Structures are given as structure tokens and as C-alpha cells.
Amino acid sequence: MRRLSIGLRLTLWYVAVFAVAQLVFGAGMYFILRQSLYSITDDALHDQIDDLTHFLEAQKKNATVAKLQEEVSETYLIEHSGDYLQIYGESGDWIFRSSALARSGIAPIEPRLVEDQQQPRDVVFDGHAFRLLTQRVEVNRHAYTVQTGLPIDQVLKTLSLFRRFLLLFAPLLLLAAATVGYWLSRKALSPVDLITRTAQNISARNLSDRLDTPKTGDELQRLSDTLNGMLSRIEAAFLRITQFTADASHELRTPISLIRTEAEIALRKSRGEAEYRQALRHILLESEQTSVLIEELLTLARADSGRESLQLRPVDLRAAVLRTGNEWRQMIESRGLRFDVTADEILPMVTADRSALSRLLAILLDNAQKYTSAPGKIGLEVGKVDGKAFVAVRDTGIGISQKDQAKIFERFYRVDTARSRSRGGAGIGLSIAHWIVQQHDGTITVQSEIGKGSTFIVEFPLRRETSKSETDISAIAGAPAGSRQLSKH
């Protein structure tokens, strides 16, 4: 079953609330009007009894019933000829009855019922509605029962007319409220419809499109800004994936083509064992490089998807750097390069992933030995500065130009003079190193000059503060391997 639209539901809720409010208001006004009209009538009844009491008090104390009948009749006969007024003495004999009551034939009131009729009540006689008040009055040591009434036909007519107007105008007001409510809901939700239509038209081909943002400062503007921010993140992620796919395809095409070409040439005609071995050696070398490239691509893909997580634990950074230096020493020196490893004697622990840290150092050392020719030098140093631990990898290689230094951590980026396939680089290693450093809440920077070498500096937050005096990083880019004075730009 299809649900009602938000606009229609808002309208229905608005109408329902308005109807309840209208009902409460109408009923309240009706009862207030009724109470007010009856209060005026009751005040008039009490005033009549007070006047009659004063009149009886003015009579002689020993006046007979006949004399009272005569006096009362002369005074009230004309004034109350059409009203409801009757007075009874202590013995139950009536002293006065208005002519209207005499004509109606209503039986005289019983004094014993007076106690039950202290409050005004409504009665109908002779086709007319009256409001009656009965009271016992003691005057000059004589008790009288007085019953007086006023016609309330006009009161009832007024209340009836008020009810009729309420029932007449309430549906009209409700209809008008429903119309206005629907118009308001449509006007309020029209920006949402615009956002919906715009969002429906956004696809992979036009991810750069954005929603129109109303300058209202309300929830709709915040919603538009939030959706535009989400679209920007989706676009950036989509472009990264597209660029990653294109770059990965390009990087894989070359080694696969070389492997296929080498195999086709080897199989084109019969060859000697030495030639077959040479072809297989080339195929194996390309396969190894392709495997390394695929592993790096998988690492980046897992990092982007959030599935590459690190196990951060307290690590002795000094011991980890010294161990990695010993592992790489033979490889670096076999290329005719000098390799120096220096470390502070005491270095606090850092929170890191041991395997990721080893991979970071391997990437930096591999880059250094690839782009440094014999008889160059490579230095690996670990220490602390400004409350942070640092690892520096220096080389005397070909260097990196100033304009390329800001881009070398981008994926698949190669400096033309320094990153060629002949050196085995795919432009991914430094991207992985940058990701590892970010996961450790650290920073990685590079200082380099063409023809003079490069220095990569990685800083990690220390696991705890140390009170020892901090070293200066002023000479890290050009200081000797054994120096502790470092420079930071």
C-alpha cells in the first residue's frame, strides 16, 4: 500500500490539530457565554428577592395576612404581572402570586421543598422558559417563602444562535485551514522536491554537479550543504578509483606485454639452452616486479576500503631501526654504496605497528639505494626532537626538483629524470609510506636538491614525554651521519 506524501500528511496533521483547537475554542466560548448569561439572570433574581425583603421589612410588624396581600398586590401586581413571583406565609397561604402564575394554574409551592431549591433552576410553563430562585426570608420574626423567576427565552435564543454560527462557520474555517495548510506544506517542501530532482539527475557522468543551496539558514540549507559535501566526497572517491584503475591498468600492461613478448620470441624458433635460460630469467624478473606491483596495489586498495588496519602497540623504535639497518646493509653495500646507521642511546617507546614500520623503512631505503649511484652514501638515523621521535633517511643521489617534491607522495607519480621503469619503480611506494605515517599520526617530509641528494624525515609522537633536553633539527638535511643536530623546514 502506497503511503501518503509528507506534504499530505503534514496537511492532515495540521487540519486535525486545527479541528481540535477549533472544537476546544468553540466549546469553551459557548460555555463562557452560557455562564455569563445565566450569571446575569441569577444576579437579577437575587436583586428581586433583596428588594422584596426590604419591602417586607418596611411593613408593620403586626400586619395581617390580608393586609400584606393588599400591600404587596398594589406594589408588585403591575410590575410582575407577566413574571414568575409568588410569596407564601408560614402557614402555607399565599400572599402574592403574579397574574401569569394565576393564569397558568401551577400548584402552590410546598415550603418543605424550599431547602432543596436553594439554587436557581430552569422550568418551562405556559410555553416559556423561566429561571427560578426559591428562598426562605425571615422578616420581623415572620418567615416567608419567596419564589421568583425571570424569562430566559432570549438567553436560550442567544445560545442557540451562537451554536448555529459555530456549526456553520467551523467547517468553512476548517476547509480554509486545510487549503492554507496544503499550500504551506507544498511551499515549504518545494526545495526538497528540487533537491530530489537534482539528485536524481546526478550520475557517474556528472558527479561535479551540485544542489542549489537556499540562503535561508534553516534545516533545508543545512541539508543541501550536507548533501553537497557528500557529493564532493563521493566525487573525490570516484575520481580516485577511476584514476587508480587507469594507473593500475597502465602499470600492469607493460610487464605483462614484456612477459608475453619474451615468451613469444622464445617459442618462435628452436633455441639453445642458454637462450631459453636467458628468456626465462627475463620472464622471472618481470614476474617478480609484477608481483610486487600487485601486492602494492592490493595494499592501497585495502587502505582505501578501510580493511587495512594496523595493530598499534608499544615499539622500541631504536631497536626496530637498527634491525632494519642490519638487514639492508649487505644489499646497499653490494651496490658500492656507503651505509651509515646512527641512533640515540636512549629513546622513549612509540606506539606503532611493527610490520608496517619495517615496511616504511624498507620503502625509504629502497628508494635511496635505487637513485644513488656508487660511490654514494646512504644514511639512516633515529632520534628525538621537539618531543617527537624521528627517522631520517639521507642519500647523495640524483635528488628531486622543488616543483616535484609536493607530488612525490601521490600515487603512480614519477619524476621523469628519477622514476623510470628501468629502476623498478611504479610510483606507489611513497604513497604507501605516506599512508603508514598517517595511520601513526605522524608526518613525513622531504628535503632535496637536484644532484645533491634527498632527505626523507618521518616524525612520530612519543608514547610519553621525556625531560631530557631536545635536539635541534637544523642540520638533518646536510649534517654528517653521526651528528645529532638536525634541521626541519
Tell me the C-alpha distance between 353 and 361, whole Å: 12
Which of 53-67, 84-98, 242-256, 407-421 shows the lowest mean pLDDT across its residues? 407-421
Q: Is residue 177 part of a domain?
A: no
Tell me: pLDDT of 105 over 90: no
**Rg of the chain on CA atoms, in Å:** 52
Q: Is residue 169 part of a domain?
A: no
Which of 83-92, 112-121, 225-234, 245-254 shows the lowest mean pLDDT across its residues? 112-121
Q: Is residue 233 part of a domain?
A: yes
Tell me: pLDDT of 479 over 60: no
* Residue 375: CATH number of its domain: 3.30.565.10
Q: Residue 484 — very low, low, confident or very high, per pLDDT cuts 50/70/90?
A: very low
Q: Are residues 240 and 359 in the same domain?
A: no
Q: Are residues 278 and 413 in the same domain?
A: no
Asked if 83 and 148 touch (Cβ cutoff 8 Å), the reply is yes
Q: Are residues 335 and 409 in the same domain?
A: yes
Cell numbers for 347, please give them.
629513546
* Amino acid present at 97: R
Q: Is residue 320 part of a domain?
A: yes
Q: Are residues 296 and 276 in the same domain?
A: yes
Number of domains in the chain: 3
Cα-based angle 108, 113, 119 (whole degrees, multiple of 5): 105
Cell numbers for 51, please give them.
428588594
Per-residue pLDDT at 157: 93
Per-residue pLDDT at 319: 92
Pairing mode of beta strands 377-385, 338-343? parallel
Give the pLDDT confidence of 435-450 residue by residue, as tens digits: 889 888 999 999 998 9
Tell me: pLDDT of 456 over 90: yes
Per-residue pLDDT at 77: 66
Tell me: pLDDT of 198 over 90: no
Greatest mean pLDDT among 107-116, 281-290, 462-471? 281-290
Tell me the C-alpha distance between 485 and 474, whole Å: 6
Q: Is residue 195 part of a domain?
A: no
Interior/surface letters 209-219, b for 16+ CB within 10 angstroms, e for the rest: eebebeeeeee
The number of residues in the chain equals: 489
Indicate the burial class of 389 (C-beta count within 10 angstroms; 0-12, 13-18, 19 or more): buried
Q: Are residues 280 and 322 in the same domain?
A: no
- Among 268, 288, 305, the domain boundary falls at 305
Q: Which helix (H) or strand (E) holds 63?
A: none
Q: Residue 356 — very low, low, confident or very high, per pLDDT cuts 50/70/90?
A: confident
Between 67 and 408, the more confident residue is 408
- Among 114, 137, 158, the domain boundary falls at 158
Tell me the C-alpha distance between 374 and 105, whole Å: 140
Give the pLDDT confidence of 24-73 residue by residue, as tens digits: 999 999 999 999 999 999 999 898 888 888 888 887 776 667 777 777 77
Asked if 462 and 361 touch (Cβ cutoff 8 Å), the reply is no
Start-to-end CA distance of the chain, whole Å, equals 66
Q: Is residue 281 part of a domain?
A: yes
Q: Are residues 417 and 320 in the same domain?
A: yes
Counting residues of the chain whose pLDDT is more than 90, the rounded percentage is 19
Per-residue pLDDT at 51: 86
- Mean pLDDT computed over every residue of the chain: 79
Q: Residue 222 — very low, low, confident or very high, per pLDDT cuts 50/70/90?
A: confident
Cell numbers for 240, please give them.
580516485
- Among 305, 337, 367, the domain boundary falls at 305
Three-class SS of residue 374?
Answer: coil
Q: Are residues 271 and 352 in the same domain?
A: no
Tell me: pLDDT of 161 over 50: yes
* Amino acid present at 351: T
Give the pLDDT confidence of 368-398 residue by residue, as tens digits: 998 898 889 999 999 988 888 999 999 999 9
* CA dihedral angle for residue 240, residue 298, residue 363, residue 392, rounded to 10 degrees: 60
Q: Are residues 90 and 134 in the same domain?
A: yes
- For residue 366, the enclosing domain spans 313-461
Between 216 and 313, the more confident residue is 313
Tell me the C-alpha distance between 107 and 90, whole Å: 17
Q: Are residues 62 and 151 in the same domain?
A: yes
Between 144 and 80, the more confident residue is 144
Q: Is residue 98 part of a domain?
A: yes
For the segment 129-156, the average pLDDT, to the nearest whole number, is 85
Which of 132-141, 317-326, 345-354, 470-479 shows the lowest mean pLDDT across its residues? 470-479
Between 320 and 292, the more confident residue is 320
Tell me the C-alpha distance between 40 and 60, whole Å: 33
Residues facing 462 on adjacent strands: 350
Q: Are residues 235 and 328 in the same domain?
A: no
Q: Are residues 274 and 295 in the same domain?
A: yes
For the segment 304-318, the average pLDDT, to the nearest whole number, is 78
Q: Are residues 321 and 253 in the same domain?
A: no
* Residue 44: CATH number of its domain: 3.30.450
Tell me the C-alpha distance between 68 and 93, whole Å: 12
* Residue 279: CATH number of its domain: 1.10.287.130
Residues facing 378 on adjacent strands: 339, 395
Q: Is residue 244 part of a domain?
A: yes
Tell me the C-alpha distance between 2 and 13, whole Å: 18
Which of 274-278, 339-343, 424-428 shows the lowest mean pLDDT across its residues? 424-428
